[in-house]
Structure 1
Amino acid sequence: MPPDTRAAALPHELLARICSFLPPGDAILTVPRLSKALAAAGEPRVAELRADVAALEEEMMYALEAGWLGVGVELFSIPLWALLEAWPQLTWQQQMRCAARAAFHGDLALLRWALPQLEDDGTFLCAAAASGGQLEALQCARELGYEWSVSTCVEAAHSGHLAVLQWARAQQPPCPWDEETCSAAASGGQLAVLQWARAQEPPCPWGEETCWAAARCGQLAVLQWVRAQQPPCPWDIWTRQEAVWAGHLAVLQWVRAQDPPCPWDEDTCSEAAERGHLAVLQWLRAQDPPCPWDQKTCNKAAGRGHVAVLQWLRAQEPPTPWDEETCAWAAECGHLAVLQLARAQEPPCPWDEETCAWAAKRGHLAVLQWARAQQPPCPWDDRTCGCAAGGGHLAVLQWLRAQDPPCPWDEWTCREAAGGGHLAVLQWARAQEPPCPWDEGTCREAAGGGHLAVLQWARAQEPPCPWDELTCAWAAERGHLDVLQWLRAQQPACPWDEWTCREAAGGGHLAVLQWARAQDPPCPWDKGTCRAAARGGHLAVLQWARAQQPPCPWDVWACFFAAAQGPPPVAEWIRSQAALECFVAL
């Protein structure tokens, strides 16, 4: 009988050990398909990897909604077999992200397969490869004809991949770069990259943003080097501001020690207080002369809830000034402890109606209740109810009106509720005895916000909520064609005038303007329609208006000057039309 030439199976422990060295993508997707035992052995590592993904999940979701694919490319590359299975079900954004992750990690096999499948110019993939320092991946993308942009140099510089940057710039033509390349190197603390970039002929350009980036990221050595060059990298007040915001005291101390020092002003202290950087604030005030401050310093500390900072500010001699805005900021942000501290001082921090109004606006009922329980209570006025209604805070509004005497309200309460689309708030306010008053502003706000259900309910009451010509104008201004159509379909129709066409044109809402003019009789217009379109830079609207028979009237001079500060094509078109119509040359 011939000997058994089959290799003996590897022990489970050894296989598990081998699997532990697999790339993350294989650990998550491949190992579970091998056996349940190996999957169980690798579960702790897989759990850690999944936690990393979950930590970025929300950020990646917002990035995808914004059309930005750069978040999450540093995550593991997906195995090719898994991508082949999933590819048809993936969205374009998901496909691009998978390819970018492969580029970042240098997964050439996946990249060579994925690139021909993508409908993209490749600039994002080149940037991902540069960010990961994957020169071969970058070369692969370029060999397949994919483009690159400034972002390639930016990503290489920020991550410190000098070899990638050098190769990119050595090509013919070289990969483009600009001031952002130096800024990226500075923010990443990549001094060697920055030095090389500036040693080229011509040197990579830089500007104030380079100093800002170094200061923001606490890269003092980089900042010192860029300022030591001849001529030095330019800087301005924002360098100081970035250091203060980030709390980099050493950077701030150095920029102030220069001759001349980087400038500062009252905003310097308020920025430190806003971020809660007490050590920075203490140093600023210990200088001779001290950095100036004003009421904004206390206001910003209160708004961010920095109790320790506020206590220190008021313990100085003389204390940092504060005013009614300090309490208002604390109330708006719901910082009851800060508000209590401010009012417990002798004399207490002043407050006014803004404190209650802003607490109501943000729905901070506990803050509002405490403020009104004091002796004397914090003052309020009709803005408090209006702010609660505008924020949709029905419980707050109900509490306000249940007090004795109730918090006053007026037409603004209904206006704010309607403008925010808060139908339940509006219904409750009108169901009271007597009902909260309303006027034409309620319908205007509902129309302007596109809240058709609110508008329909308001008009269905007996008597209906009043409206006027501005109701149609506000709907047109915001481009709410469905609202405008409903308004005009009522019996009798909501009135309109020239302002409807003006507002539609000014907002660039051509479909709204076309519909309004197609009615019988058409919505009236005047010279203000063309002027509004010109001021807003809406060339298509202006061209359509002038192409009608008869054309929309215009004052060519007024339109030209209205368009002068906008997109050049609008002013150029007006000039050409003026010449054709034999107006005086502009």
Structure 2
Amino acid sequence: MHPNEVIMNLKPVNQEAARCLKEYRIIQLSRHPASRPRAGAHKAVVHVATQAWPSQLFVAHWGRPTPWRPLSLQQRRRLLSLAANSGCAASLEAALAHCGCSLTHDVAEAAVLGGSVAAVETLLIREGCDGTTLLEEVAAQAGHLAVVQWLRQARRAQLLPPPLTVQQPEDQVPQDLATAVAACRGGHRHIITWLQEQQELEQPQEGAAAAAAAAAEPGLQVLARPEAVQRLATAAAAGGHVGLLYQLLPRLKPIPTGDGHSVMLAAAQGCPLEVLQHVCSHVCSGAPELSPRLNHDMAFAAASSPTPDWEAKLDWALQQTQHGPLSGRHEAALVPGAGSSLEDAAGVLPGWLQRLQALRARRVPLPPLPVLARRAAAVGDVVALGWLLEAQQGEGQGEEVGMEDGEALATSAALGGHVRVLEALRERGCRFSREHVDTARQAGRVEAMAWLLEQPLQPRLSEYWQHFWCLTENVSGELGHLRYLYERHGAYLNLDLITKQCSVEALEWAVMQLKGDKAAGRGPGLTYAESALGAAAQAGNLAVAHRLRELLTAAAPTFDQLTSWRGESPKTFCTIRCWLRLRQRGGLTTDAEDRDWKLALACVARAAFAGRGRWGWGWLCTRAQWKWLVARRLEAAAEAEAAGREGAVALARLEVEDLERKVMAADDY
């Protein structure tokens, strides 16, 4: 039984049960994060809620403002993502009411990964959440057909834009194929079947041959194009989905075309040995004989495999050696960077060092040892780092870490925030510099930064650097970190930096310190603090912007003031949300408020109806965000009309329709 269920269901039974189960005190909200596809073939982490979600306890605790006050922007957004992923409507409403942060694409992705259409619709349509990322692929990989269907319907209604991509138009994959690849990666045949059914509705079958093929392999007609098979089979093999892979194999072309190489490498990494053998036998039309390069890459893929029989796959792969290299055309067909799978496995798979040792014992050439050592330092693997450094010494590189290698290793460790690695490097004679402190500072690694500041740096840090530069937005989110840097190292409290990520409590503490410093003649106090409103608005830190305005006892800033401090940018929608929150407290004249509404509507209209915003692919508002803003505008007009401003709603609606018409008709949009 999950510990959450013990706390929720068993402890409340009676006093005796509560006494016996007193050790069960901590409610777990998250489980291991999931990865999702991102434009450019990279992966990013999505926060995943525990399956035993404590709905009532969550709402009781987080459904009020007080518990949110100590949380940084990152922590609040993570909690919101967990509530969205849980599928619990009450939890999501509680989080939306009190999180005080803008709704970024990470929140939408968490909801999509959770599979609740209601949560996705609440965020993307009702709340105007950013929906410009690869949401359909996330849903397909997770197997949520209902979410895929809803997203497609929303795009047909132009509420959501096409997914953003960094690929050139000639390299872009059709949406059906991209969704099918994601479904294969997750092993969800029912989504592929649905995609084929949709294609049949849109494109009638062409002749008896197509009908016969459809009857022979129901649900796989969407894979008919030869160039798609390699992508789909590779995705299924990488995910270890054997049944789907076996259905795709007959459609692979023979090895001279090069289509089978990536499938074999994916099978070596994601599938058991017998499946790998079957794939290689099929692709090679019999006993496989691999080129030295493909043999080498397959050994790396096997060594970085999560399957228990990875070592048996490694031994088998090394036995399949072709006498003589393949032609240059075949060499070029290999997957670029296949050997990087070994580096990517560091910190992810158990026994990374054991895998390196297995390759070395079998005389498989490893990537450059300094590269692997930097990877070990980056993930905090002290044992593997020690072995790699010893191996370098065995190759005649001296007893101590060389200056250049030591600096690179320290940079990797500082970037990852691994103090134990830094300590191990110090024992090997590594020296640290301000650049290492700066690396930890920029990455928000406060513990590593604090440790480095206590070392004899070469050259020594000036008091000026510690005073003005040791504080960044990434290390000032939590009150404990902020107090440490201020009290121990005299960090200058720059509100423009602090307000981007900090908690409400951290802001209040910083404002109190600035007032005290001014009273003691040590600084300007809050003289320039109003510009921090723009910084908080751009970062989407709505709760902090709201509280800062209260502390400054200032009138609500105009929209033009908020954007002029940072300029119009891809974060303008965050600024609009912040402006709306601040204007609720009043302080603007009617003329100023009308002008602000026109500016805000114009900004979003340009980005929502332009196909691509004026800032390129990085700034694109959705039509749903436009509708959300229009709804807020009409609500404000209704309030004005109720207060005696006759015709306010009709005028606002007319202005919106006129703006929509002008933007859509403009030649440059």
TM-score (norm 1): 0.50
Instruction: Give the structure 2 partner of residue 132 of structure 1.
Output: none
**Corresponding residue SS for 2:365:** coil
Q: Residues 528 and 424 from structure 1, CA distance in 2 versus in 1: closer, same or farther, beyond 3 angstroms? A: same
**Contact 1:473/1:496 (<8 A) preserved:** yes
Instruction: Give the structure 1 partner of residue 482 of structure 2.
Output: 426
Q: Does 1:244 align with 2:301?
A: no
**Corresponding residue SS for 1:275:** coil
Amino acid at match of 1:507: F
What aligned pairs does 1:349-498 form with structure 2 within 5 A after superposition?
351-360=405-414, 362-375=416-429, 377=430, 379-384=432-437, 387=440, 393-394=446-447, 396-405=448-457, 408=461, 410=466, 411=468, 413-416=470-473, 418-419=475-476, 421-432=477-488, 435-438=489-492, 442-459=494-511, 460-461=513-514, 462=517, 463=523, 464=525, 471-491=532-552, 496-498=562-564
Amino acid at match of 1:310: L
Q: Deviations over 1:193-240 (max 9, x none)?
A: xxx9964696554534863576357676874554336999x9777644
Instruction: Give the structure 1 partner of residue 50 of structure 2.
Output: 62
Higher Cα Rg, which structure: 1
**Contact 1:270/1:300 (<8 A) preserved:** no
Q: Residues 320 and 491 from structure 1, CA distance in 2 versus in 1: closer, same or farther, beyond 3 angstroms? A: same
What aligned pairs does 1:111-510 form with structure 2 within 5 A after superposition?
184=188, 199=215, 205=221, 207=223, 208=229, 211-212=233-234, 215-216=237-238, 223-224=245-246, 226-228=248-250, 239-257=263-281, 258=283, 271-275=301-305, 277-281=310-314, 283-284=316-317, 287-288=321-322, 289=325, 296=340, 299-300=343-344, 302-304=346-348, 305-314=351-360, 319-322=365-368, 324-345=370-391, 346-348=395-397, 351-360=405-414, 362-375=416-429, 377=430, 379-384=432-437, 387=440, 393-394=446-447, 396-405=448-457, 408=461, 410=466, 411=468, 413-416=470-473, 418-419=475-476, 421-432=477-488, 435-438=489-492, 442-459=494-511, 460-461=513-514, 462=517, 463=523, 464=525, 471-491=532-552, 496-499=562-565, 502=568, 506-507=572-573, 510=576
**Contact 2:415/2:443 (<8 A) preserved:** yes
Amino acid at match of 2:305: R
- CA deviation after TM superposition for structure 1 residue 340, in Å: 0.5
Q: Deviations over 1:15-38 (max 9, x none)?
A: xxxxxxxxxxxxxx9xxxxxxxxx
- CA deviation after TM superposition for structure 1 residue 62, in Å: 1.7
Query: 1:537 is matched with which residue: 621, 637, 648?
Result: 621
**Contact 1:357/1:383 (<8 A) preserved:** yes
**Contact 1:220/1:251 (<8 A) preserved:** yes
Give the distance between the partners of 1:358 and 1:278, measured in 2 at CA: 29
Q: Residues 384 and 255 from structure 1, CA distance in 2 versus in 1: closer, same or farther, beyond 3 angstroms? A: farther
Give the distance between the partners of 1:214 and 1:385, measured in 2 at CA: 42
Give me the CA root mean square deviation: 5.7
Q: Does 1:514 align with 2:575?
A: no
**Contact 2:533/2:545 (<8 A) preserved:** yes
**Corresponding residue SS for 1:413:** coil
- CA deviation after TM superposition for structure 1 residue 503, in Å: 5.5
RCO higher in 1 or 2 (8 Å CA, sep ≥ 6)?
Answer: 2
**Contact 2:253/2:260 (<8 A) preserved:** no
**Contact 2:266/2:301 (<8 A) preserved:** no
% identity of equivalent residues:
20
- CA deviation after TM superposition for structure 1 residue 390, in Å: 5.5
- CA deviation after TM superposition for structure 1 residue 371, in Å: 0.7
**Contact 1:501/1:513 (<8 A) preserved:** no
**Contact 2:187/2:241 (<8 A) preserved:** no
Q: Deviations over 1:22-80 (max 9, x none)?
A: xxxxxxx9xxxxxxxxxxxxxxxxxxxxxxxxxxx97996246599xxxxxxxxxxxxx
Instruction: Give the structure 1 partner of residue 169 of structure 2.
Output: none
- CA deviation after TM superposition for structure 1 residue 333, in Å: 2.3
- CA deviation after TM superposition for structure 1 residue 368, in Å: 1.5
**Corresponding residue SS for 2:471:** helix
- Aligned residue-pair number: 393
Give the distance between the partners of 1:267 and 1:574, measured in 2 at CA: 57
Q: Residues 212 and 186 from structure 1, CA distance in 2 versus in 1: closer, same or farther, beyond 3 angstroms? A: farther
Instruction: Give the structure 2 partner of residue 135 of structure 1.
Output: none
Q: Residues 380 and 500 from structure 1, CA distance in 2 versus in 1: closer, same or farther, beyond 3 angstroms? A: closer
Amino acid at match of 2:426: R
Q: Residues 353 and 202 from structure 1, CA distance in 2 versus in 1: closer, same or farther, beyond 3 angstroms? A: same
Q: In structure 2, list runs of 5 or more residues that go unmatched.
A: 1-8, 10-29, 33-47, 56-85, 90-115, 118-143, 147-178, 192-211, 224-228, 327-333, 518-522, 614-618, 635-656
**Contact 1:508/1:538 (<8 A) preserved:** no
Q: Deviations over 1:256-280 (max 9, x none)?
A: 4425999997976654444363444
**Contact 2:269/2:305 (<8 A) preserved:** yes
Q: Residues 92 and 507 from structure 1, CA distance in 2 versus in 1: closer, same or farther, beyond 3 angstroms? A: closer
